[in-house]
């Protein structure tokens, strides 16, 4: 009977605890070796809390690594992070710089943000 009670308690507790997810070791290895797409993916995972606990510091770390290699999607994400102050102090200058870098590569999201951000700021919506 005691064993059954212990089993029920353990099952109940295991359902209440979040699953401790890990980053795919192969993706982490590729990111550490400088693969920009893997670095972007890790940044996204940490930013969104997808399969790992949300961690803006780690997200920024991986986005930054990919962005410094010219990966436009990471540059755009860093623009958003600085524009909205997510995990960093809000900094429109840095946001603009990252959006500009991505725009120079033809990233349409960044082009749109370069156009909209100043308008939102001017009317007090940012």
Q: Count CA within 13 A, CB hemisphere, residue 115.
A: 7
Instruction: Flag whether the pTM goes above 0.85.
Output: no
Q: Is the pLDDT of residue 62 over 80?
A: yes
The Cα–Cα gap between 40 and 69 comes to 11
Domains in the chain with CATH codes: 24-122 (1.25.40.10)
What pLDDT was estimated at residue 107?
Answer: 77
Summarize the confidence of residues 44-65 as an average pLDDT. 95
Q: What is the DSSP letter of 88?
A: S
Q: What is the pLDDT of residues 14-29, one digit of tens each?
A: 333 344 457 888 999 9
The Cα–Cα gap between 102 and 72 comes to 5
Q: What is the pLDDT of residues 69-105, one digit of tens each?
A: 999 999 999 999 998 999 999 998 898 889 889 988 8
């Amino acid at each position: 009977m005691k064993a059954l009670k212990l089993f029920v308690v353990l099952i109940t507790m295991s359902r209440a605890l979040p699953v401790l997810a890990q980053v795919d070791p192969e993706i982490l290895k590729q990111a550490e070796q400088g693969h920009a797409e893997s670095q972007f993916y890790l940044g996204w995972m940490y930013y969104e809390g997808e399969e790992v606990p949300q961690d803006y510091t780690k997200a920024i770390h991986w986005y930054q690594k990919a962005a410094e290699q010219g990966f436009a999607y990471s540059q755009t994400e860093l623009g958003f992070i600085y524009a909205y102050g997510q995990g960093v102090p809000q900094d429109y200058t840095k946001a603009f710089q990252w959006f500009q870098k991505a725009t120079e590569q033809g990233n349409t999201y960044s082009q749109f943000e370069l156009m909209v951000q100043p308008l939102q700021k001017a009317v007090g919506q940012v």
